[in-house]
Amino acid sequence: MIVFFTLLLAGSLSSLSCHKTQGNEVISKKMPTILLNLVNSHNPVHYAKSHDIGLKDGVVRVIITVDTSFSSKDFLSKYELTDYQLRENLVTAYISIDGLKKLCEDPAVIYVRLPVKFNSR
CB atoms closer than 10 angstroms to residue 51 = 14
How many angstroms separate the Cα of 27 from the Cα of each of 21, 46, 73, 87, 99? 10, 22, 23, 23, 12
Q: Check if the beta carbon of residue 93 is closer than 8 Å to that of residue 61.
A: yes
pTM of this structure: 0.74
Rg (CA), the chain: 14
pLDDT at residue 121, rounded to an integer: 56
Q: Can you tell me the distance from the alpha carbon of 121 to that of 85, in angstroms, rounded to the nearest whole number?
A: 28
pLDDT tens digits for 4-33?
A: 433 344 444 444 333 344 446 888 899 999
Question: Under DSSP, is residue 101 helix (H, G, I), strand (E, B) or coil?
Answer: helix
What's 2-113's CATH class? Answer: alpha beta
Report the pLDDT value the prediction gives residue 47, as an integer from 0 to 100. 96
CA distances from 25 to 35, 37, 52, 104, 112 (A): 14, 13, 25, 11, 14
- Nearest of 30, 80, 74, 86 to residue 60 by alpha carbon: 80
- pLDDT score for 119: 64
SS (H, E, C) 6-36: HHHHHHHHHHHCCCCCCCCHHHHHHCCHHHH
Ranges of residues in the chain with a pLDDT under 70 are: 1-24, 119-121
